[in-house]
């Protein structure tokens, strides 16, 4: 849109919208360039290196995307390109939606979305990234379908919702919100709701088939293995409320509360109710869950952008102030992240978690320390996150030695310990220290090699002659009992892990 369509005296941010947008993009690229690959990113890269119809913890979409990216480049910017683009999508979609109605408000609300803390710092590529992309698409198509009444748009909305489901299970909450909105506020479009459901069915069917054929991994992780009796903690609800204030920013919430009566007519005229339902219903569900479970900040990513649309009907003054304050807050976030990324890790040398900082903030140093070990050595850590990070920076497969946790057990699908019987394994401990007695039962001989990494005395265990049977008795049997005890209500399917290690 050309600047000559702007009214005289338009706010500075409006007149320089393009420059502000490019500055924000440059900041996001700089952050993405300098931050080391995180544990989650490295873990999802393992998915991308092993294309499949599904993966241990979550549906497969981010793995599919990274498979395409890795065919081109494994540079951090390539890996994070989707995260950067999708984090800016709400801002650009708001501008596209509203610039013909009111270019000033469209640009200001677009900038507020751009600088919203949760979206501004979202430069990484994770399962939430495709969820946000397809969630925005599904909800926008539903809004358009309700306005036009054409069946094809409902079906397309369902297909997009199915792709969101193949990204992350929070798409179920979004689907429930859209369905409730149609049933309660647009019941004449009930046939359209059936078309949405029809569009989702192929994705759900594919997902169920993969789970049936693969130990019901996603069901076991999300419903069985990761939950315990945590009890009620009212402080979680307070933390959730503070999180919402942080995400939406205090100033925007203040102006919405102050000018609340002016929002209703615009929302009704432009039928924005479906966006409010898509945002408010899932957030209300999280509020009900909060006393029983800590709510993650990233859980909100796909829902909060919809609740920015009512801001299009705030006064220009309120939006201008909110945009400036949000820009300042985004600048502070950028400064903190760049400081973390660029500062020498030795600044944290006196901190008790300095070895952890070395591993995650200077992972290339750990990779260099094991670089002299040839391919005859099989590398292992005891952590799925650390193994994934080390795999990225060494360019080698790094397995998980020991039981690990209920998180991220993708290595259960990849490593067959039977094939390692008699092999030589190099074990890299998590924080440098190592008790040789923990390793000796599983090898003919264990030699501890001492190295210094960024001032940390790191002990590497060279295990020669891996004893698979001892490892099966002490590690794999408890893993089978802990993580592969299928409840009776799950239909019996196939499970390569139990077929591989079970003694029955």
SS3 content of the chain, % helix, strand, coil (to 5): 65, 5, 30
According to the model, what pLDDT value does residue 227 have? 65
Pairing between β-strand 456-466 and β-strand 424-427 as defined by DSSP bridges = antiparallel
Task: Kindly report the pTM of this predicted structure.
Answer: 0.94
Between helix 128-148 and helix 61-70 the angle, nearest 10°, is: 110
In the numeric block, which tokens belong to residue 374?
């040839």
pLDDT value at residue 504: 61
pLDDT tens-digit profile, the chain (504 residues)? 444 478 888 999 999 999 999 999 999 999 999 999 999 999 999 999 999 999 999 999 999 999 999 999 999 999 999 999 999 999 999 999 999 999 999 999 999 999 999 999 999 999 999 999 999 999 999 999 999 999 999 999 999 999 999 999 999 999 999 999 999 999 999 999 999 999 999 999 999 999 999 999 999 998 888 765 567 888 999 999 999 999 999 999 999 999 999 999 999 999 999 999 999 999 999 999 999 989 999 999 999 999 999 999 999 999 999 999 999 999 999 999 999 999 999 999 999 899 999 999 999 999 999 999 999 999 999 999 999 999 999 999 999 999 888 888 999 999 999 999 999 999 998 777 777 778 899 999 999 999 999 999 999 999 999 999 999 999 999 999 999 999 999 999 999 999 999 876
* Residues ≥6 apart with Cβ < 8 Å to 495: 214, 215, 216, 484
Q: What does DSSP assign to residue 18?
A: H
Contact 30, 338 (CB under 8 A): yes
* Spans of all domains in the chain: 3-221+231-340, 356-501
**Taking the mean position of all CA atoms in its chain, how far away is CA 491?**
29
For tokens 């069915």, name the residue.
201
So what's the pLDDT on residue 2? 44
pLDDT value of residue 229? 55
Tokens of 255: 């102006």
Q: What is the pLDDT of residue 230?
A: 60
pLDDT of residue 436: 76
Give DSSP secondary structure letters for 167-204.
Answer: T-TTHHHHHHHHHHHHHHH-GGGHHHHHHHHHHHHHHH
Which residues have a Cβ under 8 Å from the Cβ of 36 and sit 6 or more positions away? 341, 360, 361, 362, 363, 389
Signed CA dihedral, 94, 280, 258, 327: sign only: negative
pLDDT of residue 228: 58
Q: What span, in angstroms and rounded, lies between the C-alpha atoms of 458 and 496?
A: 36
């Amino acid at each position: 849109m050309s600047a000559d369509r702007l009214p005289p005296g338009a706010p500075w941010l409006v007149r320089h919208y393009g420059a502000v947008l490019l500055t924000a993009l440059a900041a996001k690229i700089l952050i993405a360039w300098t931050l080391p690959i995180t544990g989650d990113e490295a873990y999802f890269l393992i998915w991308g290196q092993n294309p499949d119809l599904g993966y241990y913890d979550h549906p497969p979409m981010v793995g599919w995307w990274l498979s395409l990216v890795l065919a081109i480049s494994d540079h951090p910017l390539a890996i994070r390109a989707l995260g950067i683009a999708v984090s800016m999508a709400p801002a650009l979609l708001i501008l596209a939606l509203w610039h013909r109605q009111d270019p000033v408000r469209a640009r200001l609300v677009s900038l507020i979305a751009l600088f919203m803390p949760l979206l501004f710092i979202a430069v990484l590529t994770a399962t939430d990234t495709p969820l946000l992309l397809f969630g925005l698409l599904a909800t926008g198509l539903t809004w358009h379908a309700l306005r036009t009444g054409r069946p094809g748009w409902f079906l397309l909305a369902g297909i997009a919702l199915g792709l969101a489901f193949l990204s992350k299970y929070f798409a179920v909450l979004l689907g429930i919100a859209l369905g409730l909105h149609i049933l309660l506020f647009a019941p004449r479009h009930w046939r359209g709701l059936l078309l949405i459901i029809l569009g989702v069915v192929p994705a759900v069917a594919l997902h169920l088939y993969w789970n049936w054929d693969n130990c019901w991994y996603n069901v076991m992780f999300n419903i069985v293995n990761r939950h315990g009796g945590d009890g009620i903690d009212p402080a979680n609800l307070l933390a959730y409320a503070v999180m919402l204030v942080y995400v939406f920013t205090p100033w925007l919430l203040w102006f919405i509360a102050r000018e609340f009566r002016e929002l209703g007519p615009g929302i009704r005229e432009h039928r924005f109710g479906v966006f409010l339902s898509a945002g408010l219903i899932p957030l209300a569900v999280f509020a009900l869950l909060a006393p029983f479970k800590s709510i993650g900040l990233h859980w909100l990513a796909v829902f909060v952008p919809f609740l920015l649309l009512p801001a299009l009907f705030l006064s220009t003054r309120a939006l201008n102030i909110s945009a400036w304050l949000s820009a300042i807050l985004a600048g502070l976030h950028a400064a903190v992240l760049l400081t973390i990324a660029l500062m020498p890790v030795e600044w944290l040398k006196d901190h008790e978690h300095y070895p952890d900082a070395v591993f995650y903030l200077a992972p290339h140093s750990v990779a260099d320390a094991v670089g002299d070990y040839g391919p005859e050595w099989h590398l292992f850590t005891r952590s799925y996150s650390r193994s994934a990070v080390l795999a990225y920076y060494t360019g080698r497969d790094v397995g998980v030695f020991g039981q690990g946790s209920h998180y991220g057990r993708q290595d259960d699908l990849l490593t067959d310990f039977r094939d390692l019987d008699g092999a030589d394994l190099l074990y890299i401990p998590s924080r440098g220290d190592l008790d040789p007695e923990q390793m000796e039962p599983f090898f003919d001989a264990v030699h501890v090699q001492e190295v210094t990494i960024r001032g940390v005395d790191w002990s590497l265990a060279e295990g020669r002659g891996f004893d698979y049977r001892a490892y099966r008795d002490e590690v794999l049997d408890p893993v089978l009992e802990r993580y592969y005890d299928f409840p009776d209500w799950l239909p019996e399917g196939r499970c390569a892990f139990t077929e591989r290690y079970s003694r029955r």
